[in-house]
């Protein structure tokens, strides 16, 4: 039987984060949920059960706010086994020449800085449990897309995940970079029902954390079948 894991999820109020929380709790794990909107998190906790989930609203780009999330989770559950750095955003104007620097700044804050803050704040706890760090990159972080600043941020995430896996291996920790293709979430203005579903990514997270401890699933690359 798989050991129950205590899992922190950023960007947990919708899309991939929400689907992952539901999938993990259904499989017997417990979750610490954070996102900016407390009301959405509270609804999710009501669905999952207060014994299984804790919601702490925070802006993941704010180091001090995220630190409070980690501390609250440890206070409730006593340890941390997995951190899933899933919070992310896109931009509305593609290309470098026509791009909006203010939008780029916000993108870097959430897609890069929040990822770093999550790792910095959770690694001491993960070291204690020989735990697991998981992050959401993208197919856009593995292939070239003309003028894509978003893609460049996901290249950072992809490279960071590979490097972090080497760092964590020194003390028996595991790191998984998940690189999905297009996922049908609110990220897009129009629904994409022929693309991946958030539950597909959630099941990839579950697969990675439930793998035998000797097996470090370092990367999962997901693409729609059609």
Q: Name the residues annotated as catalytic.
A: 150
Helical packing angle, 38-48 and 15-26, nearest 10°: 20
Taking Cα atoms as reference points, which of 46, 53, 57 lies closest to residue 76?
Answer: 53
User: Cα separation of 132 and 158, whole Å?
Assistant: 16
Scanning the chain, the segments in alpha helix (DSSP H) are: 15-26, 38-48, 63-77, 101-108, 114-129, 149-169, 198-210
Residues comprising the chain, all counted: 226
Tokens, residue 189: 């203005």
CA angle 137–14–85, rounded 5-degree value: 35
User: Cα separation of 63 and 114, whole Å?
Assistant: 8
| Residue 59, Ramachandran bin (φ over 0: left; ψ between -120 and 50: alpha; else beta) | beta
User: Cα separation of 163 and 158, whole Å?
Assistant: 9
By CB neighbour count within 10 A (0-12 exposed, 13-18 middle, 19+ buried), where does 142 fall?
middle
């Amino acid at each position: 039987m798989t050991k129950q894991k205590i899992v922190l999820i950023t960007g947990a109020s919708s899309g991939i984060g929400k689907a992952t929380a539901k999938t993990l709790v259904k499989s017997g794990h417990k979750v610490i949920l954070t996102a900016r909107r407390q009301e959405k998190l509270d609804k999710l906790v009501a669905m999952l059960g207060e014994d299984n989930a804790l919601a702490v609203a925070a802006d993941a780009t704010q180091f001090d706010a995220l630190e409070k999330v980690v501390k609250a989770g440890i206070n409730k559950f006593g340890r941390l086994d997995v951190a899933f750095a899933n919070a992310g955003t896109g931009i509305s104007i593609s290309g470098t020449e026509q791009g909006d620097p203010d939008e780029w700044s916000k993108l870097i804050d959430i897609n890069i800085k929040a990822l770093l803050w999550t790792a910095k704040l959770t690694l001491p706890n993960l070291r204690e449990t020989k735990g697991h760090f998981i992050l959401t990159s993208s197919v856009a972080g593995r292939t070239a897309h003309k003028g894509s600043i978003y893609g460049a941020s996901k290249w950072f995430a992809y490279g960071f995940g590979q490097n972090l896996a080497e760092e964590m291996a020194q003390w028996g920790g595991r790191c998984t970079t998940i690189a999905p293709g297009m996922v049908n979430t609110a990220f897009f203005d129009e629904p994409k029902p022929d693309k991946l579903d958030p539950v597909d990514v959630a099941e990839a997270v579950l697969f990675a954390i439930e793998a035998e401890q000797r097996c470090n699933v370092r990367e999962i690359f997901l693409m729609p079948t059609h």
